[in-house]
Amino acid sequence: MNNHKIKTRSCPNCGSNEFRIVLTEGEFIIVRCSKCSLVYLQNIPDEKNIYEDYYDIEYSGKDYCADSEFGNLRDVYEINNQRIKYLKKFKQSGKLLDTGSGAGLFLKTASDNGYDVSGIDVSVKAVEFSEREFGLNASNKTADDLISENCKFDIISLWHVCEHFINPVNELKKIHRLLENDGICIIEVPNFNSVKFRLSGSKWQGGNHPLYHRSFFTEKTLRDTLRRSGFTKFRRLNISYKLPGKSPVYNASKFIFNLFAMDAFLDFVAWK
Ligand SMILES: [Zn+2]
């Protein structure tokens, strides 16, 4: 056994107090609920201002383009355009809320594609950037603020947001409330059951980032979380991002992993 002192918290999905440790990283202890299988962070760090330094914004708005000199921005630009193609299959237009909108990159692409966009993020710095550089409608409001203002949205996107939630069910219930009756939400999270994670364990930065990540989903546990949050109709999407410079073999292997819900990311669409 390890020497960590566990400040036990019960499973945020089902309330069970029974769990097994699946991995530790420094002081952080990640466990799997014995009842519902959700993997979650046992010891939650002090929340104060951790997101002010979360976004590494050392570029300007005009650097976000297909031929950007920043390789990561080229990738994100390409990924966001592919996300829009998937989104268009479900909703061609409408009021879109991006939660965890960060520097506004997805919002910018969605806005360029005709959606009526707004974003929320906890980071003051990131929201300021998205307003200043892209003229976007973003704020530091919370989902609770939007509920109290009676806001409704046709589309709510949560790109790599749910893994940050301390209590995903509580937060997704709010998303459910914020949707119009025919609204949809689109969710993408790191996949705890991915080949990448299985091979690299705690070294996989995409999935295990315990200062910020508190819930670690598999296809099964994300379905369970959606159900408990009030969603009755949802489906996993095989979004296999094709990135510039990656070989056809790399892209094909990602596609195949995704068929078995074992690619690095999990994507879901859920209807209200
Ligand atoms: Zn549980």
Kindly state whether residue 64 falls inside one of the protein's structural domains.
no
Query: 251: CA distance to ligand 1 center in Å?
Result: 34
Tell me how far the alpha carbon of residue 97 lies from the centroid of ligand 1, in angstroms.
Answer: 29
For ion ligand 1, residues whose CB falls within 5 Å: 11, 13-14, 16, 33, 35-36, 38
Query: Separation of 132 CA from ligand 1 center, angstroms?
Result: 42
- Ligand 1 center–CA 37 separation, angstroms: 6
Compute, in angstroms, the gap from residue 241 CA to the centroid of ligand 1: 31
Q: Are 183 and 153 in contact (CB under 8 A)?
A: yes
pLDDT in tens, 64-84: 999 999 888 999 999 999 999
Per-residue pLDDT, 2: 43
CA of 12 from ligand 1 middle (Å) equals: 7
Specify the pLDDT at position 207.
Answer: 59
* Domain presence at residue 10: no
**CATH number where 231 lies:** 3.40.50.150
* Residues 89, 95, 101, 104, CA torsion sign: positive
Provide the pLDDT for residue 174. 98
Residue 120 falls within a domain, yes or no?
A: yes
Answer yes or no: is 148 within a domain: yes
C-alpha of residue 128 to centroid of ligand 1, in Å: 38
Domain holding 207, by residue range, is 76-271
CA of 252 to the centre of ligand 1 (A): 34
Please state the domain count of the chain. 1
* Sheet with 215-216, edge to edge strand ranges: 19-25, 28-33, 39-41, 215-216
State pTM to two decimals: 0.92
Q: 207 CA distance to ligand 1 centroid (A)?
A: 19
Alpha carbon of 21 to ligand 1 centroid (Å): 13
pLDDT digits (tens, 9 = 90+) for 148-162: 999 999 999 999 999
For residue 9, how far is its CA from the centre of ligand 1 (angstroms)?
11
* Other CB atoms within 10 Å distance of the CB of residue 55: 15
Instruction: Tell me if 84 sits within 8 A of 241, measured CB to CB.
Output: no
Task: For residue 136, tell me if it sits in a domain.
Answer: yes
Q: Tell me, what's the pLDDT at 4?
A: 44
Note whether residue 200 is domain-resident. yes
pLDDT computed for residue 266 by the predictor? 94
Expressed in angstroms and rounded, the spacing between residue 255 Cα and the centre of ligand 1 is: 30
Rounded Cα distance, 197 and 266, in Å: 13
Tell whether 134 is covered by a domain. Answer: yes
The alpha carbon of 206 and the centre of ligand 1 are apart by a number of angstroms equal to: 23
Task: Point out the residues of the chain with pLDDT beneath 50.
Answer: 1-4
Distance 39 CA to ligand 1 centre (A): 8
In a domain, 117, yes or no: yes
- String of b and e for 132-160 (b: at least 16 CB within 10 Å)? ebbebbbbebebeebeeeeebbbbbbbbb
